[in-house]
Structure 1
Amino acid sequence: MTTRSRLPFYFGVAILITVGIVLAVLRHVEMGVPWLAGEQRPVWMVEARIDFLAQGEPVLVSLNIPRDPPGFRILSEQAASPGYGFSIIEDAGTRRAEWTVRDATGQQTLYFTAQMVPDQSPLRQREGADPQPDDVFWEEPEATAVQEVLQQAAAKSSTPESMTRELIKLLQSEDPDQNTSLLLADSDRIQLLTRMLNHAGIPARITDGLKLEDARRRQSLRPFLQIHNGEKWLTFNPQTGGQGLPEDVLLWREDSISLIDLNGGTNSQVSFSMLRQTVPSMQLAQDESSSKGLGLLSLYQLPIEEQSMFRMLMLLPLGALVVAFMRIVIGVKTSGTFMPVLIAVAFVQTSLLPGLIAFVSVVAIGLLLRGYLSSLNLLLVSRISALIMLVIFITTGIAIVGYQMGFSTGMTVTFFPMVILAWTIERMSILWEEEGPREVLTQGTGSLFVATCAFLAMSAPLAGHLTFNFPELHLVIFALVLLLGQYTGYKLSELRRFEPMKAYDK
């Protein structure tokens, strides 16, 4: 007789576990669903304030706003501008907030607020041709000085990045030479640096960044230098030459030529205020679930009423795993195969101690009444139907008594599955007649013990969080149950049979 190979079975189990874990990791990475319940994430509220003097004519205000800022993700944007029309315009890779009004006079104040969350995911590459360096013209003697300084920097560099760092060192030197001093006499350092890099064939531009500090007001943007190395834009600190953008800096203006454009007014000023808040990570994931790929498979897409139902149903596989382990590996005897899971679900609703008291009370009273029904010699169908009615009467009575005594948990006794309770009473009654009260006590105690273990596993906050927010992990639970089905070794409760062997060895 040939033995069927189990290799395909173990291969299928491995696939289930791998798919479940991979999908859960993707959901965590793509949607930001946290692994732990209650995890908090920082959120920055950044407000731009625009002040200007209107001149009694139509006004158009255009403010550059961020688009995919490095290290951050935009959650929401809104404007506070009474009497003004507002819209966000996207054109040629830039985003601008525009306010318009037919007539305005005197001092005006407009607000734009953006909610940002730190995000270190890779930036999306923007479409379009590689940038080209701007044409720059110099007059003598600056042209000769620029050529000399660029030659000095080129002699110590081999890449656009190293060329940029060397130029910054030369322009920031405490003891500059004649050429550098000539160039800095009538020029701003970062403007001069940008022009020199473009003259050297390296695309360069000035960007504005905002240093994020909690509860700061009236802050200004700080200039940063960006160069294109042929693959992507790199950010440099024009003062220190440090490469890379600090984590506490938000790039507000990148592609746009101007920060603010104003028609119909004068004396425009832009200042920034910011506030750091903490928001549950789960809330952020829910807000973005509809816009992400795996979000379509999220239970948060269901109506609230159905979500509450599935939140409980998603715990059942975990309870089934606990019952399978306790019966197959530990060897605990229970009344019915998966009745402990249903009792554990009821415990989740009633809490453990009231649930235990209610369950024992219902079963005990039901066994007494079942003894009377057996004396009537009823048919099985009639006896079970009568038991179901009696169970309903008993639970109703317990609920009323509990309510009159001031115990709100008495009302939740109705979460117990009535039919399962009736069959449990019937089964225990037959077991009492065939095996005696000891076996009834063994199986009843085992059922309550397994139900309690399942309740402890199902009521854990982490279990509820993972089973509902990562439904693909049920594939892993399914695979573990299949593996338990292949277990043919001794149950732990059976090892006591080998106790006499210890005395024999001695």
Structure 2
Amino acid sequence: MSRLPFYLIVGVLMLAGIAMSVQRHVQFEIPWVPGEQRKVWEIEALVNFNAQDGPVMVDMALPSHQAGFRVLTENTASSGYGLAFKADDFGRRAEWSIRDAAGSQQLYYSVQMLVSPDSQTPDLTPPPPLVDIVWERPYDTAANHIVERAWSRSADNYTFARELMLDMGGERQGENARLLLTQYDLVPLVVRLLNHAGVNAREVSGLLLEDGRRRQSLTQWIQVFDESEEKWALFNPLSGEQGKPDNLLLWEAGGQAVLEVAGGTNSRVNFSMMTHSQPASAAVRNHISEDTLLNFSIHSLPLEEQALFQTILLIPIGALMVVFLRVLVGFKTSGTFMPVLIALAFIQTTLMTGLIGFLLVVAVGLVIRNYLSYLNLLLVARVSAVIITVIAIISIFSVVAYKLGLNAGLTITFFPMIILAWTIERMSILWEEEGPREVLIQGGGSLVTAVLAYLAMNNPWVRHITFNFLGVQLILMALILLLGNYTGYRLLELRRFQPITDEEKTS
């Protein structure tokens, strides 16, 4: 049978993938290497609330130009709502309005923030004069003691703020601080204490940027004003550290509410974010417009779905690695593509935490599965029991890790439980039929394959290429088809010919 059609298909896939990738690079100026030029954060805010069958007014804070970031473009999706953008001394805000609304409502706001190291925070107006802070007893005595203690160890407003925050949390937290924290939350309490001492301070909200994150919330920070320098400084209320982290985007920097909804209940706002790199010229010109073919790609989806596809598009890389190791190298694995799913879990847990968690779950699961074999259960019932066992093991390990303060251990929940259950079942049957040696061979092959797939999938260059150049998927398909056509010896099988080689050398 002629193999010409097969090679024609492979050739067409390869050429189409290369052509699509080159077209994306040339037309849209998307760099081949991540971080090659300029970095842009795409952030989407999703506002949810329940309207009360009447007029609704929604007011939400918006990010502005600030140190390290510059607003590139912004868009909203709010069918049926009126929209206005406002700006004042406290920052920028969006105001949605509608005459009549009922039931669950969703409003979208998306913004592109250009990472700009040269961008500076605009001059902020000095704060208004402080008003007297009134405390109820016995909180007044506790507040005065805390303020006096921090004031004696400080030299200016910034050092006073630092010492005060250190006294409110961590090892230096005393009885007075614990008393006040029973009545107030930490961040509003620190602001109140600073104002009580005559130091202008306010609570601001920021978004910690991390690629591919979904359903994130804002974190609270504190700005302190120093009259001698006439400028604001940002502090982490938990650690007392001064300065703005590079990955912190101040969403609301005027001390106002982030979201206010009139005519609705249960209002909340969540954020999804992802980053991509593009040339500085393309970032400034916003070359990607609504009438381009890019809107027919994954980039036209909401950011939450884009972040999901960023991981899904890595699966073909793992599949190619599995095919290569099984077909050419000759690795044996427990399950054909189980290593790819384990590699995906490693991306969420980090490699070392994932390896330890995987080995612990499988080891304990094999012990319990060995007991179940004595009950002579049917296959479906036995596998179901193993699934429940895996869930119980993961739950127990997560609780133990939390109690011991090992937060990394909580990520073990990212492991695919059904796959783990089938892995334990297969290894148990293999142990009974082939012995422990075959279990070690297949189990070890699965782990090595999963680790290599993880290293390939988690590479920043690979993540950038697979997400921004969809033509790469056609190239991967062509390579997998070529590997699937291979019928020769595997590398690990060559050891069978070692005796013949030794005889030829001796003769």
Q: TM-score, normalised by structure 1?
A: 0.52
**Aligned partners of 1:437 and 1:453: how far apart in 2?**
24
Where does residue 187 of structure 1 map in the other structure? none
Match of 1:371 in 2: 370
Instruction: Tell me how far apart the structure 1 counterparts of residues 317 and 423 of structure 2 sit (CA, whole Å).
Output: 22
User: Quick one: distance in 1 between partners of 2:11 and 2:302?
Assistant: 34
Q: Secondary structure at the match of 1:395?
A: helix
Counterparts of 1:26-45 in structure 2, within 5 Å, are 26-40=23-37
In structure 2, give the amino acid aligned to 1:311.
Answer: Q
Contact 2:319 2:337 in 1 (8 A): yes
CA contact (8 A) 1:31 1:292 kept: no
Deviation track 1:451-472 (CA, whole Å, cap 9, x = no partner) reads: 0000000000001001111112
Is residue 313 of structure 1 aligned with residue 312 of structure 2? Answer: yes
Deviation, 1:407, is 2.1
Match of 1:322 in 2: 321
Kept in 2: contact 1:349–1:412 (CA 8 A): yes
Q: Distance in 2 between matches of 1:324 and 1:502?
A: 29
Alignment partners' CA distance in 2, 1:290 and 1:459? 30
Q: Which runs of 5+ in 1 are unaligned?
A: 44-74, 77-81, 83-114, 116-278
Q: Does 1:455 align with 2:454?
A: yes
The answer to whether structure 1 residue 407 and structure 2 residue 412 are counterparts is no
Q: Which residue of 2 aligns with 1:51?
A: none
* Aligned equivalent of 2:4, options 2, 7, 29: 7
Specify the SS of the correspondent of 1:289.
Answer: coil
Identify the residue that residue 500 of structure 1 maps to in structure 2: 499
Residues 17 and 473 in structure 2, CA contact (< 8 A), matched pair in contact too: yes
**Residue 288 of structure 1: SS of its match in structure 2?**
coil
- Letter aligned with residue 356 of structure 2: I
Residue identity in the other structure for 1:354: T
Deviations 1:13-42 (A, max 9, x none): 111010111111111111111100011159
Q: 1:323·1:341 contact (CA, 8 Å) conserved in 2?
A: yes
Match of 1:429 in 2: 428
| TM-score, structure 2 as length reference | 0.52
Distance 2:449 2:289 in 1: 39
Question: Which residue number corresponds to residue 119 of structure 1?
Answer: none
Q: What is the Cα deviation at residue 492 of structure 1? A: 0.2
Q: Map residues 269-418 of structure 1 onto 2, 5 A cutoff.
A: 280-281=277-278, 287-291=286-290, 293-418=292-417
The residue type equivalent to 1:367 in the other structure is L
Counterpart position of 2:19: 22
What is the distance in 1 between the residues matched to 2:39 and 2:477?
36
* Residue pairs, 1:53-452, within 5 angstroms: 280-281=277-278, 287-291=286-290, 293-452=292-451
What do the CA deviations read for 1:152-185 (whole angstroms, capped 9, x no partner)? Answer: xxxxxxxxxxxxxxxxxxxxxxxxxxxxxxxxxx
Superposed displacement of residue 298, structure 1: 3.2
The code of the aligned residue for 1:393 comes to: A
* Inter-CA distance 292–330: structure 2 relative to 1 (3 Å threshold): farther
Alpha-carbon separation, structure 2, partners of 1:338 and 1:473: 20
Aligned length: 274
1:376 and 1:282 mapped to 2: Cα distance? 64
**2:472 corresponds to which letter in structure 1?**
L
Structure 2 contact 38–279 (Cα < 8 Å) conserved: no
For residues 283 and 397 of structure 1, the distance between their equivalents in structure 2, rounded to whole angstroms, comes to: 50
Instruction: Give, in angstroms, the shift of residue 283 of structure 1.
Output: 7.9
Gaps of 5+ in 2: 41-71, 74-86, 88-113, 115-275
C-alpha distance in 2, partners of 1:349/1:284?
A: 34
Helix, strand or coil at the partner of 1:290 = coil
Give, as a single letter, the amino acid of the residue that structure 1 aligns with 2:359: V
Residue 500 of structure 1, CA deviation: 0.7
* Runs of at least 4 residues off by over 6 Å: none
- CA drift of 1:408 comes to 2.0
Change (3 A) 1:373 1:445: same
What is the identity, as a one-letter code, of the residue corresponding to 2:6? F
Q: Distance in 2 between matches of 1:8 and 1:297?
A: 30
Larger Rg: 1
| 1:194-243 alpha-carbon deviations (Å, 9 max, x no partner) | xxxxxxxxxxxxxxxxxxxxxxxxxxxxxxxxxxxxxxxxxxxxxxxxxx
Tell me how far apart the structure 2 counterparts of residues 482 and 502 of structure 1 sit (CA, whole Å).
33
Could you report, residue by residue, the CA deviation over 1:223-282 in whole angstroms, capped at 9, with x for unpaired residues? Answer: xxxxxxxxxxxxxxxxxxxxxxxxxxxxxxxxxxxxxxxxxxxxxxxxxxxxxxxx9526
Partner-residue secondary structure (3-state), 2:323: helix
Match for 2:450: what amino acid? A
C-alpha displacement at 1:290, in angstroms? 3.2
CA distance in 2 between partners of 1:470 and 1:395 (Å): 37
- Aligned alpha-carbon RMSD (Å): 2.5
Cα gap change, 1:285 to 1:487, in 2 (>3 Å): farther
